[in-house]
Every structure is written in C-alpha cells, then in structure tokens.
Amino acid sequence: MCKRRVVVTGVGPITPIGTGKETFWENLIAGKSGIGTITQFDATDFNVRIAAEVKDFDFTAYGDKKEGKRMDRVTQFAVAASKIALEDSKLDLEKINPVRCGVCVGTGIGGIHTFLEQSLKYGDKGPGKISPFFIPMEIPNMPAGQIGIAYGFKGPNTAIVTACATGTNCIGDAFRTIQYGDADVMLAGGTEAAISPIAVAGFANMKALSTNNEHPEEASCPFDKKRDGFVMGEGAGVLVLEELEHAKARGAHIYAELVGYGLNCDAYHITAPDPSGEMAALCFEAALKDAGMKPEELDYINAHGTSTHLNDLGETIAIKKVFGEHAYKMAISSNKSMIGHLLGAAGGVEAIASVLTIESGVIPPTINYRDPDTEENLDLDYVPNVARKAEVRSALSNNLGFGGHNACIIFKKYED
C-alpha cells in the first residue's frame, strides 16, 4: 500500500504570548516571555507563585456562551483553537464530507478546574449538589468530542493521553489516520488548562517547578546552567492536517508536509527520563526512518527543552547519539523558555512553531540562555536569546512525557 501524503493547511495557537498565528509568531521570534505571577488564584502561601497564563481569553469570541459554561477551560481552549485553525485553513465546511473529517486532540490532565470545584462542593454540601455536567466537563476525551460536535466532524475522533507527549502523539496518530485512508482532514493537537491550586501544589511538591518567583520572565531557562525546574503554562495548539490531493484540489495554502512520526517508552521511571537517552534516541531514529531521511538531512530541532536538569541533559545526550557531529551543525531551540510548559498542549503549539519556522525561514530563540552548562557538556547550538534567519527545510518537534512516553514528528518544506 502506498501511504498518502499529509500536509499542514491551518494552525490555531492559543498561548501565553498570544492567540492566533500572527500574534503568537511575532512574539515568539521577538523572544517575549509570557511568564508572570499567577493571577487565577491566590498563590501567596505557595512556594511556586509563577506560571505562563493565557491572558484575556473570552470563549464567547469563539462559541456560544451557554455551551461555554458547560465546558471546562481546557475544552474551551480546544474548541477555540480549532476554530482559529479552520479559519486559517479556509476550509469550506459546506463543501466537505464530514464523515471523512476527524479529530485527534488530547489533554494530559483534563478538566482539573471542574474537578477541584466539584470536589470542594462535595466536601462542603454533599453528593446532591454535584453538577450533572461534572463528568462531561472533566473527562479528558471531551475536548475532542466537543470539537467534533462544534464543527460536525463525524470521522475518527480520539483523544490520546501521554502526559507531556500528548499533543505530539495526537498529531502523529492523525497523520497516520490520513496516510492509511481513514480520513482526508484531521484536526490534531493538544490542550491544557491546569493552572489550578491542586495541580501547582502537586508539581511543586515533587520539586518539578522553578521557584524563581522574583524574576518570573527569567525562570524558564532551558539548557542553561542555572535551570531549576519548568514553569507551568496553559493553552492549546491545533493543526489542520489534510491529505495532499484534497488540499491541492481546493487550492489550500500549504505550510509544510508532515513526513515522519516516532514513538516509544523509556520504561524507566514514573517521572524521570532515562539518563542514557537511549529510547529518546531510538524515537528520533524511528521518525527519521519513517520520513526516509538521513540524520544529516535534518536542519532544526524544536526541543522538548523543559528547563529541568534531567530533561535538558538527557535530551542533549539523545541528540548527540543520533546525529553525531551533525548535532553541532543543527539549530536547536526551546519555545518553553517563553511560553512555559503547556503539558499536554506543548506538542501542538510547538508543532505550529516548527511549521512556521520552515515557512518563514526564522528560527525562534531559546531566551534566558546566558550561562552554558559546560560541566555536563550541554554544548550544542541552542539559538541563544535572539531569533535567527536561516533556511530550514526540515524540522523535528520532540516531546517527552511523565511515564517515559517519547514522541517526535518531522515536518519538511512542501515540494510538489
């Protein structure tokens, strides 16, 4: 069987540095930080008081107010990002076959705002006061389900949950859904809205988060020697993936072609990556094999780059294992230095950044990179602090999740 070609025809980012392609991209290449003091709840008594929040989000700009009240913030983000992506794609919903259009959008944590709110209500007032909408607002498949309902997409509809690898796994699975003929169009990516007291406390108590409360804009510093943990972020990233001939037939704008997907598991630890980088390296190799590419043909890596000690070190080791001397010739950067770690949404937003890098010929920087970690040989080209003009014909977007989940996808400049 000849696998069908898959292209990106629309992007929908909702991020701490902006909503929509233009604002997001402008701020990303300008090196603007979206990290600040938490405003969604009173974090005075927390040892972590910073996060990367989406500002001024109003769901009524994207959907019905009544329906929005029946969605957790995580689902609102997903539905809104899908609307942005569809509008960007200029896909005419009146002219498509809805049975050939599907959704694969996941979340790492789900409707935790609703979960906390209803749990407190249960403790205070008992079971009779729990909302009948509690379950459909909280379960992690509902962002994908609500997208299908909102836009009438009746094809494959799934929601993968692989922690911080969620968005990338969703895009990869949607890619294969189109490749093997089960759909012509897929909305794919991730969403997350977990900046809540219980989630921040949980991550903070496992010592995963940065405690640089005094200088929040500098707190996320991937690959830098002073990194002390990641910064929680929120948002969504949804892409319109389309079978090539379907896209060409309607004269769609093509951002890039999706050509490779790799996934596996460290099988090592519930939160820590395998320090050998062995399985992350094999994940890169699987994506390259799927794309029919040699390591030296890759131009750029949009790194997972969380600003945690173990991730940044392990990811660098894995890159060196696969790319050898070419690792020193590639550009590598982390969007998380600006937008924080969007958890299940990270892969979706970073995939959007990757295709915009290919289209624009500008590589986003890793900001806050000032003190190289020479002791542990973090000595690759992490595009420090300032965006760089460069021809990028291929880009790998990489995400690694709690539980040892590894996922990566490769985009290439589209050639007919």
pLDDT in tens, 92-106: 999 999 999 999 999
Read off the pTM.
0.98
Same domain assignment for residues 244 and 310: no
Backbone angles phi, psi at 104, to 5 degrees: -140, 90
Is 193 inside a domain boundary?
yes
Q: What kind and span of H or E run contains 82?
A: helix 73-89
Structure tokens at 359: 């289209």
10 Å CB burial of residue 374 (0-12, 13-18, 19+) is exposed
Is 158 inside a domain boundary?
yes
- Domain final residue pick, 224, 249, 274: 249
Counting the structural domains of the chain, the total is 2
Is 254 inside a domain boundary?
no
Same domain assignment for residues 57 and 127: yes
Instruction: Find out whether 59 and 65 touch, Cβ atoms under 8 Å.
Output: yes
pLDDT for res 105: 98
Marked catalytic residue, from 283, 341, 405, 408: 341
SS3 content of the chain, % helix, strand, coil (to 5): 40, 20, 40
Marked catalytic residue, from 113, 246, 304, 405: 304
Marked catalytic residue, from 101, 104, 164, 170: 164
Same domain assignment for residues 19 and 156: yes
pLDDT for res 1: 64
Structure tokens at 223: 């690959």
Is 38 inside a domain boundary?
yes
Same domain assignment for residues 193 and 64: yes
Is 310 inside a domain boundary?
yes
- Domain final residue pick, 249, 282, 302: 249
164 is annotated as an active-site residue: yes
Report the CATH number at residue 103: 3.40.47.10
341 is annotated as an active-site residue: yes
For residue range 342-380, list pLDDT tens digits in order: 999 999 999 999 999 999 999 999 999 999 999 999 999
Is 255 inside a domain boundary?
no
Same domain assignment for residues 121 and 156: yes
pLDDT for res 416: 85
Same domain assignment for residues 298 and 229: no
309 is annotated as an active-site residue: no
Residue 352's domain spans which residues? 261-412
Same domain assignment for residues 273 and 230: no
